[in-house]
Chain A
């Protein structure tokens, strides 16, 4: 028996006048997965996330969070979902502790359960030293941590994070990424949109690529990398004879796009692994001293660039 995905999006569409912000988008996110939601500006990421967060209504299609439809049972879906919008507006004259207490009360947490939960998220997000600080007086990084703490208060199974790393410095980004990994390890599903693809590639299990409101590709990063890479990309590091190795490669069958970059030789190879092994043997036979010979996986940036056209709507 297969269990239902934590988040299931089916044929979601949303138009604003003549502009189709989201068109027939479908994807799934499982428990414990971090899914990157990427696309150019205006691709429909935020609209999709707002629909998932029950803040907007699709023209067609539906999404289920923990089995609850965002259309028909938005309250139940919201209990399973934590939404972190792209901006956090703090309250004036309210310290961090009181803000969290307020939000915990708003989520219906009572008595000691509330106290314990607040202590737990404060500890997890590293806010212990900032409890008496006004929410308006936090740095961007700490404000994002507070925003995340607020999102975690009701222990949602799915986190929908819209550009959470925007504006953070490198250290804050790394710390934030670590927090997300811990959350995923705890079994939470995470759908995260970001323009920082290098950040996503290090933490995501899969991606949803969307452009002009339409789904371009979805799945695990490895699977998509294999899909978008029609040919094997090979990287060769040699101790000596780099030019000789280049000349040799240019004469070989199945070898394309030979180039030298940063003292290394790269090329694409469109035959099987046996042929590749023979190629390596011939290269060594030519007297080239090879210290590294390996496949190169497509990065998230390459996937993104190859699958999208950069068209805006």
Chain B
């Protein structure tokens, strides 16, 4: 192509834009839904303006009312209509099989999900533009200050993004068997309805709380503590959506394992940030660093427990696609092995995650010049992570007995509810049959009931015996998986060697 024929900068920039985003915005703006929604939005603007104009004496209170009313009109659009459209769009895409054709192009599942989410964001901006005269008016009426408006709109944006992420993920999950199509639809309808209705009910309180928080100059702290989990949730939903869209034989594990690692690091970061913030302000609800880290790491284990569990119950072998993407360098291949799909490698990942979590609890208080975790905090955190190893280990062992077929994964995943059911119900039955009456003390029969056992670890004084049992079981769970773990790593090294051979 000659210089004269070179594309203009705008064309080249336009080429960089996600095609899904362009198509989604085209479709949304061409559709009747947009015309109807925009029409209703304009109508609501007129109605709100007329109500305020009808007041004899316009005071700052009218400005606050004006602002709250504007948000009330925006909430259903941003938290329900736009996300629901994103859900329907994704569902239509996966239902008709068009997504398969898109995946044959250069679009990746991640790009498709990102495109849908950014398209929802663009619609957010369009609706904000429609409502902007009204929002400007709220400031002119002197009822609400600019920081409050900015913070409220930022909150609305993040929550709208979160709602859209949940909707897109549910839409992508419709790709699975017909049974599942009803469940995502129900989740989206009820979830978005609940968020929208709840937001409208507590909107006034949120505006008030925001103003008082701004007055205390504590905005950044509480916003970051509130919004970080939402943003992490958005990323998780995007990963779930992309995973549902991806080919069953593509690598759908690494992103989740990296997410789990990052989730642990983020929770550690939030604990450190919160500790510094509280220490700097000498707040009365100040907690020492060990306690904060212990709480964060324990909660992370609870929130992330499904990740190791799913990792340990994947099909044991690498698919040809994944094997062909293993790094050729043997050291690099060895290092990334725990992040690659496969039950044995999933168990290695679980052990690494546990080690990282417990090491952080030991090391970080010393580095940060804070108080170390108390013995009780150590026990609770360790016990929680040991449960993660035990359940993942047992399920991984079962998975390896079931053979290499990928469709056996869900049989092994049934181990978790089965173990929980048996662990919770059976001891109660034994107690009842044995005539011992209500449960008064912990015994080894309750070892597979993590809820009861952890509560005993916190409160009771027989923690030494419980911990011995938990350590014993965890070691046993690891031993049951030693062979698959070694095989898993060796398989990655063999794939790397095969790639080196082909390249040579």
A positions within 8 Å CB-CB of B = 53-55, 57, 69, 71-74, 78, 81, 83, 85, 87, 89, 91-94, 98, 101-103, 105-108, 110-112, 114, 150, 154
One digit per residue, 1 when the CB lies within 8 angstroms of any chain A CB and 0 when it does not, for chain B 63-83 equals 000000000000000000000
Bin the interface of chain B by size. Answer: 20 to 34
| A92 and B319 contacting across the interface, CB-CB below 8 Å | no
How far is A114 from B11 in the complex, measured between Cα atoms in Å?
11
Identify the interface centre among A54, A69, A81, A150: most chain B CB within 10 Å of its CB.
Answer: A54
Inter-chain contacts of A103 with B (CB < 8 A): 105
- Secondary structure at chain B's binding surface: helix, strand, loop or mixed? helix
CB nearest neighbor in B for A89? B96
**B1 and A91 form a contact (CB under 8 A):** no
Q: A71 and B5 in contact (CB under 8 A), knowing A92-B31, A94-B23?
A: no
Contact between chains at B106 and A102 (CB < 8 Å):
no
CB < 8 Å neighbour of A154 from B23, B105, B107: B105
Is B249 in contact with chain A by the CB < 8 A criterion? yes
A164 to chain B, nearest CB (A): 14
A-B contact pairs, 18 of them (CB 8 A): A54-B247, A55-B247, A57-B319, A72-B324, A89-B96, A91-B23, A92-B27, A92-B31, A92-B92, A93-B30, A94-B23, A98-B26, A101-B22, A106-B105, A106-B107, A112-B7, A112-B11, A150-B101
> Chain B 24-50 against A: per-residue CB contact (8 Å), 1 yes, 0 no?
001110110000000000000000000
Q: How far is the CA of A150 from the CA of B105 in the complex (A)?
A: 11
User: Is B440 an interface position by the 8 A CB rule?
Assistant: no
- Whether B320 is near chain A, meaning CB under 8 Å from some CB there, is yes
Q: Which residues of B contact A107 (CB under 8 A)?
A: 105-106
Query: Given contacts A57-B249, A73-B324, A110-B12, is CB(A83)–CB(B101) below 8 Å?
Result: yes
Instruction: Find out whether the CB atom of A85 lies under 8 angstroms from the CB atom of B1.
Output: no
Known: A93-B30, A98-B26, A112-B7. A85 touches B101 (CB 8 A): yes
Name A71's contact: one of B92, B96, B101, B321 (CB within 8 Å). Answer: B321
Contact residues in B for A114 (Cβ distance below 8 Å) = 15
CB within 8 A of A111: which of B11, B105, B106? B11
Distance in angstroms from A91 CB to nearest chain B CB is: 6
Complex Cα gap A11–B270 (Å): 55
Residues in A whose Cβ lies below 8 Å from that of B23: 91, 94, 98, 102
Cross-chain contact of A72 among B28, B105, B106, B321 (Cβ < 8 A) = B321
In the A-B complex, the 6 residue pairs with the smallest Cβ-Cβ separation, listed nearest first, are: A89-B96, A111-B7, A105-B19, A106-B105, A71-B320, A93-B30
* Closest chain A CB from B274 CB (angstroms): 44
Residues from chain B with Cβ under 8 Å of A150 in the complex: 101
What mask results when residues 99 to 139 of chain B are scored 1 for a CB within 8 Å of chain A, else 0? 01110111100000000000000000000000000000000
Contacts beyond the supplied A85-B100, A98-B26: 19 A-B pairs with Cβ under 8 Å: A55-B247, A57-B319, A78-B105, A81-B104, A85-B101, A89-B96, A92-B27, A92-B31, A94-B23, A94-B27, A98-B23, A102-B23, A106-B19, A106-B102, A107-B106, A111-B11, A112-B5, A150-B101, A154-B105
